[in-house]
Chains A and B, each alone.
Chain A
Amino acid sequence: MKADGFDVIIVGAGLGGGIAAGVLAEAGRRVLLLERGSALGYRDIPGDHLRHHRLTAYGDNTTRDAVGHPRVFVDPSGATRTVLPRDADYHHNAFTVGGGARVWGMQAWRFHPDDFRMASRYGTPAGSSLADWPLAYADLAPFYERAEDEIGVAGDHAATRYAPRDRAYPLPPVPLSPTGAWLARGAAALGWDHFAPPLAVNTVPRHGRSACVQCRQCIGFACPTDARNGSHNTLLPRALATDRCTLVTRAHVARVLTDASGRAAGVEYFAPTAPGSAQLSRHTARARTIILAGGAIETARLLLLSASPRHPRGLGNHSDHVGRHLQGHYYPVVSGLLPPGVENPNLGPGVCLATTRFNHGNPGVIGGAMLANDFVKLPIIFWREHLPPDVPRWGLANKRAMRDLYLRGIDLRGPVQEIPSPDSRVTLDPVVLDRFGLPVARLSGTTHPETVRTAEFIRARAEDWLRAAGAERVWSSPLSLRLSAAQHQAGTARLAADPRDGVTDPWGRVHGHDNLWITDGSLHVTNGGFNPALTIMALAFRAAEKIARSG
């Protein structure tokens, strides 16, 4: 393949990388887009209820090369294990063209204005690395709107008052199910705001693709009508249509090359020797601009792997922030039973009612979370996680509970904003190597304990909501301190105006490396009390626009 003549190299074809590719290719740049996974069609992503991205005990439906790419996980007691993607401690996100958005739940929330100023609003607890973002909500608002328009978000702009859009969303909101209406009555009784959550789904046909048919095999699987929106069916096809974007799949980037001045010169990567070849060999590509978008774990690993005599601790690691502040979300889950008479058609996507009443201003705790109902549930997920705790685990009583309660199950959950800790981190493992002989990511530490207090507060509010709605029973489990990353992984190359406080400048450019950028969740100083994908997208649009304008 032609390895030179590119203006931009992008590492990772998920939401952040796909968006950067689209913006820059349409702006006339020649883009090399390197993706470690494969381009998978609907039929390539099996509808296997035991191997998908919400249940990975035996594998998942997008990973094609788990063996040879372990990670090392260090639990809070210090015990160390080598883990593969099927293990929850791997903190996996889908490795494929399109990234996690091939199988995501599509919640496309803007962060709350106060999510960008957490330290100013709450102070920084001892031992935490809670900080303000070096930009404000208003800086990101136009790019949120652009992401909503270009990716395709369905929502109710008039009701989404915490982060108002001037114009309607490009797609009408997801329909309110009878169970959603039942929850709405509960929220109204409590005096809580409630509205249809923004989802990146075609609720009506758009841009030549079909509408959602409300199937019951949604989150964790590929969409049968291509109604689930991401970069894979919007910005990436636009990039490829320019003929200026070259997508190379099964391409594993080994290091970012830097020159004597510290500028990024190119990348070394392993990719098929020839297109379609099983054999992988080492390649080098050079470009004027390098963008990393491999997710918060692998982007941090790549910065560390790219150490050089001039940057012995890794690129951007001048102040020892690379890999630190790793965070995701804590999810309190509260289950209950619908009272008799409440119809549950059990249709996808399932999420149709949310409240932002508890994102901020909660007495005695820091931050909070959006709360919403959950996605349509597979029977095996219901069996594993949502039977009442006093139901025996086997025998006729268990079988009858499944028969009688499956369609009566209801649960609420919310992504609790984490209070980051510098000790929750990605480092290079000193022992375990990947198939190319490179040190793998080692995950260690936990989030800050304040996170648990907030999560417990949110869990209690979710219980209030189900009770107010009239659930027949309500139950949940307490949360405990742990490392959290997984699909919402963030924070490992955080934005900071001052190079001493983070890795990247307020635009996402690595401090000290003028032409090295990041467009994934690594940038997030904090991860909001919301699903983080739309913020990743908005930052990617903003960075790509800046690069496009810089000549």
Chain B
Amino acid sequence: MSLASPQLVTLRALLERLIPADDFPGALAAGTDHFIVALLAGDAADEATGIALGLEQLDAEAVARHGTERTFASLAIGQQDALLLALERGEPATPWPMPPTAAAFLNRMVTLTAEGFYADPANGGNRDAASWRMVGYDPRLPPDPSAP
């Protein structure tokens, strides 16, 4: 399955908080959202339903904490971070109807985001090797490998 449009908006807002931009691009600028969407349609397809539900629940959390008409993406940065910290502590404001629990969902999204952002650019979430340039990593593979 693929994520619906509102879920993609929530996903992108979430990525901005998990690995924000600073002097170096953050996860969103590096294309990590594309990595996650592709992974949920491929090797992590069994997780796609749970993650889609979790992204919807982030909006429910925004409503419960800040009133109707709000979505996670529409919150201020400080509000988003406070919400995520509460989930991480296992203190959601809404009942999470399924596994993963709120904390497990956040933990999984943190891992997926880091995997996309810090993996090789061919995985799609580390455009122009942005994270590798930031940490000082280059695989230094020979341009003309002699191995058969």
Question: A interface vs B, CB < 8 Å?
Answer: 41-42, 47-51, 57-59, 209-210, 213-217, 222-226, 346-347, 378-380, 382-384, 393-396, 398-400, 402-403, 406-407
Contacts and interface: CB of A to CB of B under 8 A. Distances in A.
B145 A399 contact: no
Contacts of A215: 139-142
A59 B42 CA distance: 11
A47 B138 CA distance: 13
B83 to A, nearest CB: 13
Given A41-B147, A216-B140, A400-B22, 7 more contacts: A42-B145, A47-B122, A58-B43, A217-B140, A217-B141, A383-B118, A403-B135
Interface residues of B, number: 39
A346 B142 CA distance: 16
Given A47-B120, A48-B122, A398-B19, A223 B147 contact: yes
A346 B137 CA distance: 8
Give the top 10 A-B pairs by smallest Cβ distance, nearest first: A42-B147, A224-B145, A406-B135, A226-B147, A58-B43, A49-B119, A380-B118, A217-B139, A379-B118, A394-B18
A395 B118 contact: no
Interface string B104-148: 000100110111001110110000000110111111111001111
B114 A224 contact: no
A470 B107 CA distance: 33
A127 B29 CA distance: 57
A402 B148 contact: no
Contacts of B142: 213, 215, 224-225
Contacts of B131: 379, 402
Contacts of A213: 140, 142
Contact of B22 (A379, A384, A396): A396
Contacts of B64: none
A371 to B, nearest CB: 25
Contacts of B39: 58
A396 B26 CA distance: 9
A179 to B, nearest CB: 14
Contacts of B141: 47, 215, 217, 224
A49 B120 contact: yes
B114 A395 contact: no
B135 A402 contact: yes
B20 interface: yes
B139 A47 contact: yes
A223 B135 CA distance: 24
B120 A394 contact: no
A350 to B, nearest CB: 13
A225 B147 contact: yes
Contacts of A51: 43
Given A216-B139, A224-B142, A379-B135, A395 B147 contact: no
Interface of B: 17-20, 22, 24, 26, 39, 43-44, 81, 84, 88, 107, 110-111, 113-115, 118-120, 122-123, 131-132, 134-142, 145-148
Contact of B138 (A48, A216, A382, A400): A216
B137 A49 contact: no
Contacts of B24: 399, 403
Nearest to B107: A393
A395 B20 contact: yes
10 contacts: A50-B115, A226-B147, A380-B115, A383-B118, A394-B18, A395-B18, A396-B22, A403-B134, A406-B135, A406-B137
B22 A224 contact: no
Contacts of B26: 399
B20 A396 contact: yes
B81 A395 contact: yes
Nearest to B26: A399
A397 to B, nearest CB: 10
A41 B84 CA distance: 45
B19 A399 contact: yes
Contacts of A402: 118, 131, 134-135
Contacts of A407: 135-136
Contacts of A50: 115, 119-120, 123
Contacts of A59: 43
Contacts of B19: 394-395, 398-399
A59 B81 CA distance: 33
Q: Most chain-B CB neighbours within 10 Å: which of A48, A50, A51?
A: A50
Nearest to A226: B147
Contacts of B44: 58
A406 B131 CA distance: 11
Contacts of B146: 209-210, 224-226
A1 B148 CA distance: 26
Contacts of B114: 380, 383-384
Contact of B136 (A48, A217, A406): A406
Nearest to B136: A407
Nearest to A348: B140
A41 B148 contact: yes
B82 to A, nearest CB: 12
A395 B17 CA distance: 6
A48 B120 contact: yes
Contacts of A223: 147
A497 to B, nearest CB: 43
